[in-house]
Structure 1
């Protein structure tokens, strides 16, 4: 099989994402990555000396994209639409969030540390958590959300909803819609909808 001589960093990151989602951290290797890029392993070593630095740079790249989209989003002043925007954005990057959590856990278990690397994960965590907290607290104060439910619990449920294990076969966009529906309206049908249903 012929080998391509050149590939872009974007190609490298795209295949890294694909393989991590497919095989997980433990089975991810430069050999496997080289096969999918149709290049030699030596070509990848010109960019990175180990897989941890590659994965970290890939996640940093994706998280910076998330932050840029977050900061440039025209947030609606309508509470429900703002809620929809928030969920959709979180779930658009659900793979990255899950991979980041997995990666950091693996490094912790193995006792590894990445030296001289920007901890974009912590920055992202603080910004998103701060935004959700401000949104929920303000919504409770204005009477949009139930004040009887502790704000920290609502904040945690929204922030960590992206980590719910997916066995539904739905797309991230579809999952965002349904999880938002569950959090906003629960799982029981309203009396109005019951009355609208035809009798069996």
Structure 2
């Protein structure tokens, strides 16, 4: 007798995310996924036709959550918005790692995967435009140094997102510390 389905669509995507982060696109497959699910592998096919569809759906889900929070930001205070944006990105700090293999997804064989990757790309574009807009506004308001080119500010900002939290500080506190280092530097 086969195993009974005992996981939700959300749990399926959560486990997919974890496995893609652990094994990468190339190391992920549906057999590996089924080994981490309580139900039969055939149940996966009720949701997705293949590996590319499920990974694309996982990517879309993650970036959609980030996009929803970022789009809701009050941008009237550029510095506060940048701090809140850093916090949003740190909450989903593995986003860039997860999306780094998006180009490997075969979108020509699946409309679902193609649509999900198109969404991921448009969401990523929105986030880049938003971040650039906030940095430009902060420079115009003389909140950040104007002699430092915008791409340097953005690059440092993104490097903060990738800073390992070796002390396992809660994300809001970690975000605040990183923002303070960015704003004031490390000097006393």
Give the TM-score taking structure 1 as reference length: 0.77
1:57 and 2:57 equivalent? Answer: yes
* CA-based RMSD: 2.6
Aligned structure 1 segments of 4 or more residues deviating by more than 4 angstroms: none
Q: Is 1:104 aligned with 2:102?
A: yes
Instruction: Write out aligned runs for 1:106-121 (5 A).
Output: 107=104, 113-115=106-108, 116=111, 117-118=114-115, 119-121=118-120
8 Å contact from structure 1 (residues 91, 172) kept in 2: no
Give per-residue Cα distances to partners, 1:20-55, cap 9 Å, x unaligned.
233333332222222222111112123223212110
Q: Structure 2 CA distance, aligned partners of 1:24 and 1:130?
A: 28
Answer yes or no: is 1:9 the counterpart of 2:9.
yes
TM-score by length of 2: 0.81
Contact 2:29 2:51 in 1 (8 A): yes
Matching residue of 1:195: none
Other structure's SS at 1:4 match: coil
Q: Is the 8 A contact 2:75 2:134 kept in 1?
A: no
Structure 2 residue runs of 5 or longer lacking an equivalent are: none
Tell me the residue number matched to 2:69.
Answer: 69
Equivalent residue, structure 2, for 1:196? none
Runs of at least 5 residues in structure 1 that lack an aligned partner in the other structure: 190-200
Spell out the pairing of 1:5-154 with structure 2 (5 A cutoff): 5-73=5-73, 75=74, 77-101=76-100, 103-104=101-102, 107=104, 113-115=106-108, 116=111, 117-118=114-115, 119-154=118-153
Partners of 2:183 and 2:59 lie apart in 1 by 31
Stretch deviating more after TM superposition (54-63 or 121-130) = 121-130
CA contact (8 A) 1:92 1:172 kept: no
TM-aligned CA deviation for residue 180 of structure 1: 2.0
- How far apart are the structure 1 equivalents of 2:133 and 2:79? 15
In structure 2, distance between residues paired with 1:64 and 1:138: 25
The count of residues paired between Structure 1 and Structure 2 equals 181
Cα shift at 1:175: 4.4
Query: 1:10, 1:25 → 2: CA distance?
Result: 19
- CA deviations on 1:99-120 (whole Å, 9 max, x unpaired) are 011x225x1xxxx631331212
Q: 1:85 to 1:18 in 2, by over 3 A?
A: same
